[in-house]
A and B are shown apart, each in its own frame.
Chain A
Amino acid sequence: MLNSEYKDDALKVYLSGEIDHNRAANIRTSIDARINALRPKTLELDFSKVTFMDSSGIGLIMGRYRSVGLVGGALKVTNVPPRIEKIIELSGISSLGVLG
């Protein structure tokens, strides 16, 4: 139930709706399954359709930073909507250099 595209070693995952503790576990499992099957050079998480996110989403981003790193890939976080900018800023994940 997660839309994604894979092309030229790049995996793009479109996240949507509300990301909280309840949903994070399923999202994590399904992204990690794709990472392990495809071993992409880049993983892009597109946040444009995300309507709500709490710190579970930060855990999800940091966890994917690690899991794509384990297969030698890099993470990119894109299209962060204004409504979740505040929590992204607070988390300090910009220091990972993943925001694009």
Chain B
Amino acid sequence: MNIQNEMHLKFLSKSSNESFARSAVAAFTLELDPTIAELADIKTAVSEAVTNAIVHGYRRESGMIYIDVRLTTERDVIIKIRDKGVGIEDVTQAMQPLYTTAKEEERAGLGFAVMQSFMDSVKVQSKPDKGTTVTLVKRIVALR
């Protein structure tokens, strides 16, 4: 895997930053010349992961969210979204479609299902009280 470009973001877990985060990541991928559909997929998946960090990771107190984006010469976009929040006890259960611990906020429980459907791979590492890292990968199809 050869890294062609990379960037790092660090911002406060405020929901007003959701839009900033997904737009910044999408803008950074532009050098791979993604289609509108690929860009929309990336924006949606990033929005889900960042929202999870805000709604779940930092539900007790606010904190920083870290995003690392790497573009590879194989045209993969690798996005790591990390929080130092409460973590997830049971990752398998959390990834079940329709499972949510925030019903009162009208969370649909589809965050991970959307990430899995819109990206080529989704990896979740989490430890209670340490935080959660979600790694999203999408390959941008070569110039058509």
Contacts and interface: CB of A to CB of B under 8 A. Distances in A.
Given A55-B110, A58-B108, A90-B114, A83 B40 contact: yes
B73 interface: no
B44 A22 contact: no
- A-side interface mostly: helix
16 contacts: A18-B19, A20-B18, A21-B15, A22-B18, A28-B106, A52-B44, A52-B47, A53-B44, A54-B51, A55-B108, A55-B114, A62-B106, A63-B106, A87-B44, A87-B114, A90-B114
Query: Across chains A and B, which 7 residue pairs bring their CB atoms closest together, nearest first?
Result: A59-B106, A22-B15, A55-B110, A59-B108, A54-B47, A58-B108, A63-B106
Contact of A54 (B16, B48, B54, B105): B48
A36 interface: no
Interface string A51-80: 011111011101100000000000000000
B54 A58 contact: no
Interface of A: 18, 20-22, 24-25, 28, 52-56, 58-60, 62-63, 83, 86-87, 90-91
A77 to B, nearest CB: 14
B43 interface: yes
A68 B106 CA distance: 15
Contacts of A55: 48, 51, 107-108, 110-111, 113-114
Nearest to B117: A90
B45 to A, nearest CB: 9
Contacts of A91: 108, 110
Contact of A56 (B36, B40, B41, B51): B51
